[in-house]
Chain A
């Protein structure tokens, strides 16, 4: 079945450590997105990518980095510069140039600080 796979489901980070969240899709979508969800805050866009080897900052990109070397994959690295990384992270994909196309979401990764 086509869909988006995020791993791991739960992740713990030590102080000063970088961690990488995986996102893979087999929907053949060109666009991929990373969101952060905090309680009562809704979803906030971290980074998005329209095509391979291209990505743009969203509203809260500081302390995060991404890469898009393959169409299917859009990993997110939470760096040590992100001082408050505890949150639920959601990856999504869509057809990029269609205003009406819904984004399809993965199951999320819950990141906590040790």
Chain B
């Protein structure tokens, strides 16, 4: 079974502060992918990044950066110099190589972290 834990339910920061969203996962698969999605107030989930289990290089994309550590089963997401537009619910998700029946690689989502950036 797969499991994703986002221990932070809600976080509030003042604009321009840095903020890190935590994600811890459990899987028995050796091959898997991790994803981060953003859900703004409008409701749709927007794909942000994916990382495979064999690539522990950290990644930076503009104000966003991701820290993948296999040793601690964590895939944390940092927003630098936060902005009001970053206010959203952020989901971490896991896709493992174990699949059922018709061959679907199902996504397991964490419960999400609601980020509020205060101007």
Contacts and interface: CB of A to CB of B under 8 A. Distances in A.
A56 interface: yes
- A interface majority secondary structure: loop
A99 to B, nearest CB: 5
Nearest to A106: B44
A21 interface: no
Interface residues of B, number: 30
Given A96-B104, A99-B32, A99-B97, A107 B111 contact: no
A50 B102 contact: yes
A42 B44 CA distance: 13
B94 to A, nearest CB: 11
B97 A43 contact: no
A90 interface: yes
Interface in A29-81: 31, 40-43, 45, 48, 50-51, 54, 56, 58
A107 B44 contact: yes
Given A42-B111, A42-B112, A56-B102, A99 B43 contact: no
Given A99-B95, A99-B97, A100-B52, A54 B42 contact: no
A96 B103 contact: yes
A31 B104 contact: yes
A18 to B, nearest CB: 23
Contacts of A99: 31-33, 95-97, 105
Contact of B103 (A58, A97, A110): A97
Given A43-B91, A100-B50, A103-B45, 10 more contacts: A40-B9, A41-B111, A45-B106, A48-B104, A96-B102, A96-B104, A102-B35, A102-B50, A105-B37, A105-B44
Interface of B: 9, 31-33, 35, 37, 42-47, 50, 52, 91, 95-97, 100-107, 109-112
Interface of A: 31, 40-43, 45, 48, 50-51, 54, 56, 58, 88, 90, 92, 96-100, 102-108, 110
